[in-house]
Amino acid sequence: MNSASPLPLSDVFAPRSVAIIGASDDPERLSGRPLRYLLQAGFTGRIMPVNPNRQQVQGVPAYPSIEALPELPDLALLVVPAARIKEMVLACVRCGIRGIYLLSGGFAEIGPEGEGQQRELHDIVRAAGVRVLGPNCLGAFNTEARFFGTFATSLERGLPRTGPVAIVSQSGAYGQHLAYLAAQRRIGVSYLITTGNELDIELSECLGWLVEQPGVRVIMAYAEGIRNGPGLIRSLEAARLAGKAVVFLKVGQSEAGARAASSHTAALTGSDRVFDAIARQYGVYRAHSTEEQLDVAQACARGVWPRGNRLAIVSLSGGAGAHAADLADQQGLDVAPLPQILAKQLAEIIPFGNSGNPVDVTGQAVNDLEMFSAALRHVAESGAYDAVFVFLTTVPLARALAAPLRRAILTATENVRSGRPIVLSMAADPDVIRDYEADGFFVFEDLARGVKVLGALAHFGRSFNRPPVEHPSPAPVGTAISGQGSLSEATAKKMFAAAGITVLSEALAHTAGDAVAAASRLGFPVAMKIVSADILHKTEIGGVLLGVDDAPAVAAGFDLIMQRARRAFPGARIDGVLVSPMAPDGLDVIVGTTRDPVFGPLVMFGLGGVAAECFEDVAFRAAPVSGAVAREMIAETRAARLLAGWRGAPACDVDEVARVIVALSEMAARPGGRIQTMEINPLRVLPQGRGAIALDALAVFDSEAEARHGADQLLGEQA
């Protein structure tokens, strides 16, 4: 392993000198475009084309080989066929070049043979301490440094202007597509980084570097899979704390989906669900289309964040106002009623409209723009709302009205638009829309797009104001589930009880006589359950009996449960039957953890029992979590309404549920921990102030030895 310190990414994405290996004299060829773009941009560093057949390439002195270069470049762009890549990489390593772009395809993306070649390259550069972007990528550009290390055809129509937006994309084609569409919208893009197959440099590291660049305010990211979950989490949290918006479009299925389910929790942990939870936890806005990604990024580039989610709607159409209100509700925006003073002011100036929220100024506004302007000013300056949505229909298309309407809107918002998001929804000529955008408004023809942008801005406003998220500890990721070791229910409950989680008094019976004695001591009626580390889901085999109310029934029940267990799992190790008193009434929820192969330990909450998988109404977060985050998880699920007291039922002890979520999350995230999954299902939640009881428990470790050691260690820590 090379002992030199890692090459800073600044040398990779803002190099002072560049060698282009395989540079073509034809500026239209892919191998000629990087040099063409560097010259066109006025790159101030030294450019050294390598071409053994020419003394000059596109007018720049060329060199016959890498070894013949007059100085060591910060970066080498390899634009040679895949068959020659290894040879060129070895030459770069011998010469001491420590930054390389591999722009060629033909590696892991083509199958096993390409995967083998890519692994070989990885071993070479890893041993040499060389940083590599690609292969199978379009390279990168940095408009601040006038550096364009790419053959992207999107630059044919002109080089982009610099600005507050950066793009990082695993797909080169999508990345350049996004950069081109951003330029069409006059969005300044300072960086485009395409990571391709990610032999070395991967998306999360690039995202973290972009966060550190002072001119970047918004990062658009595109990924098909995440290779470094903890690294991505660190970068996303850095972006959030720096007040920089990350607008992510994530497609495809993560490697997390390949693991076999060993409990309800693991079965529910689909890759997309996990990524969605991470995005929510760390303030990412997840876009689901290119248009949405661009809309949100363009709005975020202004850097104006609402202080809350209260939205005022002013509309020339009552129907459109109602539609906007429905859309706002879907985005979590609060179309709050008008304050009394504001309602009175509007009632005095709007002759026939509705002075509620939405504010319907009616078509009369076309004849009386002063009335419209006054109404809009009252709403905008009231201080009662964090953002304003204005529906103008096709009025801006009327030539006689376009200019006076614009003056009326500018006058009404002159004191607030620099610090408060205002969306205008209209049909208008492109030059009219550009003028409004230059004045600081967000303009959309489609109401839904405009409201969605306001929802995104409110999302970032909330996210940036949250306290720092505790980073997950470096618990292992990517461990396969084979060779796992499960604790029995009785041992798992002891482990949870040691962490302060309430369990019922119970006894393990090895014979029918033991069961009868235990039931007599605990009091009838009782619950009876098979106890075996090899049988994770007891209900499915008939291994649970409830409400057993006398000694004969207990004795018969013991024999029945044992018969069912042996029939369903002939080779299972059976410890006996657990006898416990019947639990008091309450609401059943599930709290669990799993170790995701990409993101590490996760904690989950949702409705308990069979509802956990039937409705898939669960919330995930990276572990550990705080009490506040635990309450956010609860609030995201349908269980929240039931816990609050539904149809006259008493409110449940939500504080205790949050405490259990926190406790399991901390156990899952222990440094060096080998817990694959834990689950309490159900956790019976009692009325407010009376706590919650773990009625069933599951804990799975990496191996039998880890199960024994882990349980002893956790019990010892809590003793």
Domain harbouring 550, CATH code? 3.30.1490.20
Which one is predicted more confidently, 444 or 487?
444
Strand order in the sheet with 245-250: 147-150, 139-142, 189-194, 165-169, 218-223, 245-250, 285-286
- Residues 520, 593, single domain; the answer is no
Does the residue 679 lie in any domain?
yes
pLDDT at 633: 97
Does the residue 83 lie in any domain?
yes
Does the residue 300 lie in any domain?
no
Task: Kindly report the average pLDDT of the chain as a whole number.
Answer: 91
Give the pLDDT band of residue 617 (cuts 50, 70, 90): confident
DSSP secondary structure code for residue 186 in this structure? T
- Residues 539, 625, single domain; the answer is no
Rounded percentage of the chain residues whose pLDDT exceeds 90? 81
Does the residue 595 lie in any domain?
yes
For residues 108 and 118, give the distance between their C-alpha atoms in angstroms, rounded to a whole number: 6
Q: With 70 as the cut, is the pLDDT of residue 611 above it?
A: no
What's the pLDDT tens digit per position in 265-305?
334 444 788 999 999 999 999 999 999 999 999 999 999 99
DSSP secondary structure code for residue 63 in this structure? B
- Residues 18, 134, single domain; the answer is yes
pLDDT at 481: 36
- Residues 63, 136, single domain; the answer is yes
pLDDT at 694: 97
Cβ-based neighbour number of residue 467 at 10 Å: 8
Give the pLDDT band of residue 196 (cuts 50, 70, 90): very high
Pick the closest to residue 583 from 495, 498, 493, 511 (CA basis): 493
Tell me what the mean pLDDT of segment 546-554 comes to: 97
Which of residues 581, 606, 631 is at a domain's end? 581
Count how many domains the chain has.
Answer: 4
Which amino acid belongs to residue 133? L
For residues 231 and 204, give the distance between their C-alpha atoms in angstroms, rounded to a whole number: 6
pLDDT at 710: 58
CATH number at residue 368: 3.40.50.261
DSSP secondary structure code for residue 336 in this structure? P
Does the residue 453 lie in any domain?
no
Tell me what the mean pLDDT of segment 170-194 comes to: 97
- Residues 164, 50, single domain; the answer is yes
Q: With 60 as the cut, is the pLDDT of residue 3 above it?
A: no
pLDDT at 530: 95
pLDDT at 671: 80
Does the residue 609 lie in any domain?
yes
pLDDT at 483: 43
DSSP secondary structure code for residue 252 in this structure? S
User: Both tokens of residue 413?
Assistant: 């918002």
Answer for the pair 497, 697: CB distance below 8 angstroms, yes or no: no
pLDDT at 6: 76
For residues 291 and 304, give the distance between their C-alpha atoms in angstroms, rounded to a whole number: 20
pLDDT at 716: 60
DSSP letters for 581-646 = EPPPS-EEEEEEEEEETTTEEEEEEEE-TTHHHHH--EEEEESS--HHHHHHHHHHSTHHHHHTTS
Q: With 50 as the cut, is the pLDDT of residue 390 above it?
A: yes
Question: Between vectors from CA 708 to CA 703 and to CA 713, what angle results, nearest 5°?
Answer: 115
What's the pLDDT tens digit per position in 62-81?
999 999 999 999 999 999 99
Tell me what the mean pLDDT of segment 472-500 comes to: 70
Q: With 70 as the cut, is the pLDDT of residue 330 above it?
A: yes
Q: With 60 as the cut, is the pLDDT of residue 475 above it?
A: no
Does the residue 470 lie in any domain?
no
DSSP letters for 269-302 = --HHHHHHHHHHHTT-EE-SSHHHHHHHHHHHTT
Give the pLDDT band of residue 706 (cuts 50, 70, 90): low
Answer for the pair 501, 653: CB distance below 8 angstroms, yes or no: no
Cβ-based neighbour number of residue 18 at 10 Å: 24
User: Both tokens of residue 158?
Assistant: 């002109």
pLDDT at 259: 39
Determine the 3-state secondary structure of 509 from DSSP: strand
Tell me what the mean pLDDT of segment 576-591 comes to: 96
pLDDT at 616: 75
Beta-carbon contacts of 214 under 8 Å, excluding residues fewer than 6 positions away, are: none
Pick the closest to residue 218 from 243, 241, 195, 193 (CA basis): 243
For residues 230 and 431, give the distance between their C-alpha atoms in angstroms, rounded to a whole number: 46
E strand or H helix at 193 = strand 189-194
Which of residues 252, 269, 294 is at a domain's end? 252
Give the pLDDT band of residue 536 (cuts 50, 70, 90): confident
Distance, CA of 664 to chain centre: 22
For residues 490 and 639, give the distance between their C-alpha atoms in angstroms, rounded to a whole number: 27
**Whole domain around residue 554: which residue ranges?**
505-581
User: Both tokens of residue 79?
Assistant: 């634009």
Give the pLDDT band of residue 486 (cuts 50, 70, 90): confident
Which amino acid belongs to residue 469? V
pLDDT at 215: 96
Give the pLDDT band of residue 704 (cuts 50, 70, 90): low
- Residues 323, 388, single domain; the answer is yes
pLDDT at 621: 96
Determine the 3-state secondary structure of 454 from DSSP: helix
CATH number at residue 701: 3.30.470.20
Q: Report the interhelical angle of 430-438 vs 399-413 (nearest 10°).
A: 10
Question: Between vectors from CA 323 to CA 320 and to CA 327, what angle results, nearest 5°?
Answer: 135
For the chain, the first-to-last Cα distance in angstroms comes to 45
CATH number at residue 103: 3.40.50.720
- Residues 101, 135, single domain; the answer is yes
Which of residues 533, 553, 581 is at a domain's end? 581
Tell me what the mean pLDDT of segment 617-641 comes to: 94
Half-sphere exposure of 531 (CA within 13 A, CB side): 23
Strand locations in 413-460, DSSP E? 422-426, 442-444
Does the residue 688 lie in any domain?
yes
Give the pLDDT band of residue 580 (cuts 50, 70, 90): very high
Query: With the C-alpha atoms ordered 488, 490, 491, 493, is the resulting torsion angle positive or negative?
Result: positive
- Residues 574, 606, single domain; the answer is no
pLDDT at 254: 41
pLDDT at 482: 40
| Number of residues assigned to the chain | 719
Rounded percentage of the chain residues whose pLDDT exceeds 70? 91
Give the pLDDT band of residue 478 (cuts 50, 70, 90): very low
What's the pLDDT tens digit per position in 649-687?
899 999 999 999 999 999 999 887 688 999 999 999 999
- Residues 192, 338, single domain; the answer is no
- Residues 560, 619, single domain; the answer is no
What's the pLDDT tens digit per position in 229-242?
999 999 999 999 99
- Residues 46, 193, single domain; the answer is yes
- Residues 315, 429, single domain; the answer is yes
Tell me what the mean pLDDT of segment 326-353 comes to: 93
